[in-house]
Chains A and B, each alone.
Chain A
Amino acid sequence: MATTYPRRIYTSFITNIVDIPSRLVALLCFLLLLLFPVTRPGTLLLYVLTYTNIIAIFAASWDLLVGRVGQISLGHALFFGIGAYTTALLYKFYALPLWATIPLAILSGASVAVLVGFPSLRVKGPYLALVSMAFPLILTGLIFYFREWTGGENGIWGLPRFFPIGFFTQMGFPYSEALYLQKIAEYYLTLLLLLASGILLYKIANSKIGITFISILDDEQASKSCGINTTKYKLMAFAITACFASLAGAVYAHIITSIGPASTLSVTLSFLPVIMTMFGGIGTIYGPIAATFIIQTLDLYILRKVVDVPLEWHPLIFIIIVVIIIIKWPRGIAKFVTDKFEDLQEARELEERGKHIWKREKKKSSISKG
């Protein structure tokens, strides 16, 4: 058996990844990102990509909640902010090390998500979207009110880094080189976290739980009558996505080393995963990740460094592109690309079913409103 084991891994690798074109593309993209620091990019580009990795985790987690369970949330920054603030406050008051605060941040994100998920059990459709938008704003108000502890609008400064600079200088690198290596190490850390979260989210979305999620998106009443405890599964969806979103927030806090309500709880941050997911393809998990890489590098690097555009024009350009894409291809660019690659009948059928579900959802909501 021992001799066949590597062979089995090899065949499963071939059949599960290389034979499916879109997964091969994903693998190649990942390898490209993995080998990217070999070209010794500038610190700005490295920073942009590190930030992009974090936002990609955040966007993918939103996609699981909305694309697979149908709970439209416009306040996803709440979980990001909870993650960031938990780790920062634990460091500030108890001086706990990184490896202890980040799991605690994830835990608190998940428990807040269960609390926040309760309104979603009663509120539906556009009501839920607008209600969820309120939560980060409420938290912002509380942060401003308890400014002795949270620092108000100035936030919390001087958080520890993942790889302290001394770690590299002890290894014999000069200081400037050590600074650069620190950035590269952070880049790899976030990239691996992105890979792990992406695979985990994709696995969850396609597991038995994920199928139950889709049944809730499809028809909640029907899945209830099939004996599915939809309350439990909806709260579970909130908790799972909040885990990943607060992980992103906690990692962000330790990469940037300073957090504030403007950077972790803003409305813009809540809208970011929405834009990414609609651009990349809703319900796909890999779509928002791809979209984040396209949009973030376009916005933060290409428009700033490669093409010299005045600063006020940046949001304008990339939002116009996103709006046009949403109107042109409502199913997102990732769907468009995979359809081009894999001319599979099954995928077509699934997509048709997906469209059907969305239409039916729309019709149902308009009937119940009238």
Chain B
Amino acid sequence: MILLALISIWLISLNPIDREYALAKINSVIVNGAVSGPLYALLALGFTLIYGVTGVVNMTHGTLYMLGAYMFFAFGPLGFFQLEILPAIVLAAIFVGIVGSIIYALTIHPIIEDELAVLVVTVGVALILQQLIIIGFDIAFKATYLAIPTITLAGLPLNVTFMGVKLASSSLLVCGVSVVLFTVVMIFISKAKIGRAMRAVAQDREAAMLMGINTTRLYMLTMAISASLAATAGIFIATSTTGTAEPSMWLRPLVISFAIVILGGLGSLKGTIVGAFIVGYAENAVIILTPAGSTLAGAVALAIMVLVLLIRPRGIFGKRIEME
């Protein structure tokens, strides 16, 4: 409230031309923040799901995101099989899901008791996967920087103007995908039989085991779902932002998704949405309102995360999936 009052006093004190300019900037922050919120939420969805159910801090998330974008290229119109866009997306997501469950079975499962070892091993696996992607695509396509095909909906114009702010329609598509996937995952967790098993395992692994839930298989399934969500995020976000798949694209999504997830409370789906909007608005405000702000964008998201944690050590919604 105080902030709003200060902003309006500042606006009134400006002369008309400056005021119009400032209002346009504020509009742009509001609209761009509203668009990047769902985008970041989509980014963090897989990360929050795997932590909420299994308690694994999955550092391979960024690399699975990257693998998704690369596999979309490989399956897509310019790749091996020259498939249409939609089957390529589905196949890439399924492929990455299988890779995720293999990673879980081979590396995370033997040491799941030791939090630190899991953290380190997933970091190692992330680096291995990244190198494998670089080597594989270097051999197959003679390039590691790839322009991935754009996803367009028929009947949608290339740009949409909303409140005087020009938006790419592909970023609206990402918002739509994010909303759909979030709804599906939430309904799945609360209604479906496997979803209920996931909540049971999140609550108490041993008790769930005694009730006859095969936790190993369930963990593998969760990892597969989380990995395919990461891949889907990678495909849609990469097409709407840079339009390329590149070897260094894993770090930023990883950092952003952990900032969001910690902000909202590790493993809480509601918290992820709130955290995503906070980070989205904060980043856009810094990028648009400060000079040379784009260099500070990542730092601001992380600084907000640190500040929130000082006030609420378990994030805004400090609950895991089972409590929702």
* Chain A contacts to B: CB under 8 angstroms: 66, 72, 74, 118-119, 122-127, 129-131, 133-135, 137-142, 144-145, 147, 267, 271, 274-275, 278, 282, 312-313, 315-316, 319-320, 322-323, 326-327, 330, 358-359, 362, 365-366, 369-370
The reply to whether B128 and A74 form a contact with Cβ atoms under 8 Å apart is: no
Q: Could you say which of B125, B135, B315 contacts A323, with CB atoms under 8 Å apart?
A: B125
The reply to whether B57 and A141 form a contact with Cβ atoms under 8 Å apart is: no
Q: A122-B310, A138-B303, A267-B251 are in contact. Are A330 and B131 (CB under 8 A)?
A: no
Known: A127-B314, A315-B128. 16 other contacts (CB 8 A): A66-B116, A122-B309, A127-B266, A129-B119, A131-B262, A137-B299, A141-B299, A145-B292, A271-B123, A278-B116, A313-B131, A323-B121, A327-B107, A327-B121, A330-B114, A370-B203
- CA A138 to CA B116, docked complex, whole Å: 23
Ordered by A's residue number, 30 sampled pairs between the chains whose C-beta atoms are within 8 Å are: A72-B115, A125-B115, A126-B115, A127-B262, A127-B313, A127-B315, A130-B262, A134-B255, A137-B255, A137-B298, A137-B302, A138-B306, A139-B299, A141-B296, A141-B298, A141-B302, A144-B295, A147-B295, A271-B123, A274-B119, A275-B120, A312-B135, A313-B131, A316-B132, A319-B124, A319-B128, A323-B107, A326-B117, A326-B121, A330-B111
Minimum CB–CB distance from B307 to chain A (whole Å) comes to 10
The reply to whether B309 and A274 form a contact with Cβ atoms under 8 Å apart is: no
B22 CB within 8 Å of chain A: no
- CA A278 to CA B119, docked complex, whole Å: 11
Pick from B110, B123, B262, B300 the residue with the most CB of A within 10 Å: B123
Minimum CB–CB distance from B130 to chain A (whole Å) comes to 8
The closest CB in chain B to the CB of A323 belongs to: B124
Q: A319-B128, A330-B114 are in contact. Are A134 and B204 (CB under 8 A)?
A: no
The closest CB in chain B to the CB of A267 belongs to: B251
Minimum CB–CB distance from B55 to chain A (whole Å) comes to 7
Minimum CB–CB distance from B314 to chain A (whole Å) comes to 7
Q: A138-B302, A141-B299 are in contact. Are A126 and B113 (CB under 8 A)?
A: no
The reply to whether B258 and A326 form a contact with Cβ atoms under 8 Å apart is: no
B270 CB within 8 Å of chain A: no
Q: Could you say which of B295, B296, B302 contacts A134, with CB atoms under 8 Å apart?
A: B302
The reply to whether B258 and A274 form a contact with Cβ atoms under 8 Å apart is: no
A interface footprint on B282-324 (CB within 8 Å = 1, 0 otherwise): 0000000000100111111011011001100111000010100
Which residues of A sit under 8 angstroms from B107, Cβ to Cβ? 323, 327
The 5 A-B pairs with the shortest beta carbon distances in the complex, nearest first, are A141-B299, A134-B302, A144-B295, A323-B124, A316-B131
Which residues of A sit under 8 angstroms from B128, Cβ to Cβ? 315-316, 319-320, 323
The closest CB in chain B to the CB of A366 belongs to: B55
Minimum CB–CB distance from B105 to chain A (whole Å) comes to 12
Secondary structure of the A contact surface, majority rule: helix
- CA A323 to CA B126, docked complex, whole Å: 11
Q: Could you say which of A140, A141, A312 contacts B134, with CB atoms under 8 Å apart?
A: A312
The reply to whether B55 and A358 form a contact with Cβ atoms under 8 Å apart is: no
Minimum CB–CB distance from A134 to chain B (whole Å) comes to 4
Which residues of A sit under 8 angstroms from B127, Cβ to Cβ? 315, 319
- CA A138 to CA B259, docked complex, whole Å: 12
The reply to whether A275 and B132 form a contact with Cβ atoms under 8 Å apart is: no
The closest CB in chain A to the CB of B299 belongs to: A141
Which residues of B sit under 8 angstroms from A312, Cβ to Cβ? 131, 134-135, 138
Minimum CB–CB distance from B211 to chain A (whole Å) comes to 16
- CA A195 to CA B123, docked complex, whole Å: 30
Q: A137-B298, A315-B131 are in contact. Are A365 and B115 (CB under 8 A)?
A: yes
The closest CB in chain B to the CB of A147 belongs to: B295
The reply to whether B303 and A123 form a contact with Cβ atoms under 8 Å apart is: no
- CA A137 to CA B298, docked complex, whole Å: 8
The closest CB in chain B to the CB of A277 belongs to: B120
Which residues of A sit under 8 angstroms from B203, Cβ to Cβ? 370
- CA A330 to CA B120, docked complex, whole Å: 11
Q: Could you say which of A137, A274, A320, A366 contacts B120, with CB atoms under 8 Å apart?
A: A274
- CA A286 to CA B111, docked complex, whole Å: 24
Which residues of B sit under 8 angstroms from A271, Cβ to Cβ? 120, 123
Q: Could you say which of B57, B113, B259 contacts A129, with CB atoms under 8 Å apart?
A: B57
- CA A141 to CA B115, docked complex, whole Å: 29
Which residues of A sit under 8 angstroms from B205, Cβ to Cβ? 366
